A and B are shown apart, each in its own frame.
Chain A
Amino acid sequence: MERKIKVLLAKLGLDVHNRGVITVAKELRDAGMEVVYIGNALPEQIVAAASQEDPDLVGVSSLGGAHLSLGQMLIDQAKAAGLLPETVFMIGGVFSPADAQKLKALGFAGVFPPGSGREEIVGFVRQAVAA
């Protein structure tokens, strides 16, 4: 039996908007994955949860503008905790195309601005985890 892909999702920092991450959680679960959603969390809390849950992929949502500041902290702390490079990181939310590039450069393998579709996200998770 194929092991289920396990995904940990979180709202990055104090961002209030959670419609997107709830939508993604449902779509990943509908695609047969195990999803753990921890709500609002700081980078260190996300890293702690990931260390405990041992997911294949960590996805964070940020619509509040702090994607680079907190995103950087998250990746740095994930590296320090030994989660990278095995764990895949993805981020969704509101940020400019220029910032999307910066997020990729930081180490987010998947970057999903507004308008990203289900197939796109689910497809990315499957392919990224398989790699």
Chain B
Amino acid sequence: MASTKPTTKEILARAAGGAGTPLYNPQALAGIKAGFDAWRESSVRPADREAWAQAPATVLGSEIPRNMLYTPLDVAGLDYARHLGNSGQAPFTRGVHANMYRGRRFTRRQLAGYGGPEDTNQRIRFLLDHGATGISIIFDLPTIQMYDSDDAIAAGQVGMSGVAIDSVEDMDRLFADIALDQVTVSLVTHYPSNSALLFPMYLALAERRGIPWEALKGSIQNDVTLEEVVRSGPEYIPPRDCFRVQCDNMEFIRRNVPQWNFQTLNGYNLREFGTSAVTEMAVALANLVESMEELIGRGLTADDLGQRAAFFWSIGNDFFEEVARIRAVRRLYGRIMTQRFGVTNPRAAWMRCHVQTSGVSLTRSEPLNNVVRAGFHALAAVLGGAQSLHVDSYDEAYSVPTEEAALLSLRTQQIIETETGVCEVVDPLGGSFYLEALTNELEARILDELAEIERKGGYVAAVESGWLQTRIRDYFHRERERMEKGEIRVVGENAYQGETKLPEISVFEYPEGVEERMKARLGELRLRRDNAAVEAALKGLEDACRGGGNLLPASVQCARVLCSEGEMFKVFKRAFGLWRPPALW
């Protein structure tokens, strides 16, 4: 259903203030222009003149054309105070803090997740022992899709590509000997639904350990995009209910777990599925805008919310585009929060982000090449000013990372921050004619696409109608064709393919017996627990789902009394019904 409400783009345009102070002196610009035109005629080959603006052909790129050379003429209207500001100063283009990495390095937050909770606990400690500064947990497919380890649908898949968690007791094992009030933990609960089932287990765990919720620091994903758009699964709840759960998570966490980031807007998975640099950010912002409206309606303030909103971006191959887009979205988010939502606390206008290097941009052939690719991705993330980073490992196209590969990813981060010197200067590429022009271009395109989504009725409507799914599908079909035609070239795949047989890399091996162990534990837990309390709690959850209030308190109660995730998801399905997503096929 089309919308006639003003778009964010229109609102921001109205808010743009009066005359500013252009950086470049008009006389200087006139002189540069005359010189540039003459140079183009005398020193630039006709072929280059004709093909002046060309788009790099890259995996996940936006296809924005780039000039052969950038000059002040390309950013003639640049106004330092209005468009850049110093770091830590509106509009925050140059960074959310004045001192950025001099004050605090980006968090080295590498993912861990495989087998049972005690297996992943080992990998967490390994990473921490080797200098990781944050924890990030990825769950196995049954846990992500919200089925218990002993559900028939989970057979053969328990503990693969993530850690199996069925109850609060598994959470306890996962974080054995880890002080939850001393670390920051990213629980990669992708969906609103699994966030509402798994995060309560984390909260119940904190209670068991006598840790007040106010002391907990970390984040969850909690994004409708992940549950409804970019995943393939057997069962979905409807988008509007999913959005309600997303907002319930945000509201409950904002009010009760004040240091926790209640959402890390996606971002990464959307782009990896197959969209451009621009669409990734437009969709995340569309979700943000709609969530803000909903939560403000529930009595939270924009200042409240902005302080704990966070983002999860991918970083791909087009080096300068990746740096520019982080800056672009940082400025745009700041403008949206101040000019559209009227925040007065500057912290509420900071675009804080965790970034993961693109997995889809890595190859199976010659896997060590991926170390180089991921290195460039990571550098772009740092030059863009990300707060937290995960570097994909070179065995991405083989399996969950081996210890060796995970360590190398961590070392990549450490080498950048220790040896290259790039962290000593804030926003080192700021002021580059190219980078500022590209930052402007990306911001404009993201805003245009955000307006497109809003005109279609907003984010949830775009998901329900299938518009978003179609856009993604069209992008990845087109990218495939471009790769096939050789327009997009990838070393070792369709460019510089080698015949030499390189040594095999070692591949991760899953621990044995995980499924049996998890099933046995769950069976034993079901016998041991107070099943009357379980039944009452599940009934409470169903009432909360069907009622209009926030369902999180009921979910936390379920976690406390040892309900399993699968049991809780069944309640969701009963209460909300199932939805058939628009087919990509």
Contacts and interface: CB of A to CB of B under 8 A. Distances in A.
A80 to B, nearest CB: 16
B398 A95 contact: yes
A96 B398 contact: yes
A4 interface: no
B142 interface: yes
Q: Which of A35, A40, A63 has the most CB of B within 10 A?
A: A40
Given A26-B477, A40-B233, A16 B157 contact: no
A4 B233 CA distance: 29
Nearest to A14: B141
Given A18-B232, A19-B273, A65-B510, A114 B397 contact: yes
B491 to A, nearest CB: 12
Q: Range of interface residues on chain A?
A: 35 or more
A115 B584 CA distance: 21
A65 B399 contact: yes
A97 interface: yes
A14 B157 contact: yes
A57 B382 CA distance: 47
A33 interface: no
B233 A16 contact: yes
A69 interface: yes
B155 A65 contact: no
B316 to A, nearest CB: 15
Contacts of A113: 364, 397
B398 A14 contact: no
Contacts of B274: 19
A23 B399 contact: no
A17 to B, nearest CB: 7
A96 B145 contact: no
A123 interface: no
Contact of A13 (B156, B400, B476, B510): B156
A95 B508 CA distance: 10
A41 B153 CA distance: 9
Contacts, number: 99
Contacts of B144: 14, 16
Contact of A42 (B152, B363, B473, B510): B152
Contact of B157 (A13, A17, A114): A13
A66 interface: yes
Interface residues of B, number: 38
Nearest to A16: B231
A18 B230 CA distance: 8
Contacts of A18: 232, 584
A97 B506 CA distance: 10
Interface string B274-293: 10000000000000000000
A22 B510 CA distance: 28
Contact of A23 (B157, B397, B476): B476
A32 interface: no
A114 B364 contact: yes
Given A14-B147, A18-B232, A113-B364, A42 B155 contact: yes
Given A14-B233, A39-B232, A98 B507 contact: yes
A66 B157 contact: yes
B585 A37 contact: yes
Interface in A9-59: 11, 13-19, 22-23, 25-26, 35, 37, 39-42
A128 interface: no
B493 interface: yes
B129 interface: no
Contacts of B231: 16
Contact of B365 (A35, A94, A115): A115
A21 to B, nearest CB: 8
Interface in B389-433: 397-400
A42 to B, nearest CB: 6
Q: List the 4 closest A-B pairs by CB distance, nearest first.
A: A69-B156, A65-B160, A18-B232, A96-B507
Given A22-B585, A65-B160, 10 more contacts: A14-B234, A19-B273, A19-B476, A22-B473, A26-B477, A39-B234, A66-B141, A69-B155, A70-B157, A113-B364
Interface of A: 11, 13-19, 22-23, 25-26, 35, 37, 39-42, 63-66, 69-70, 73, 94-99, 113-115, 117-118
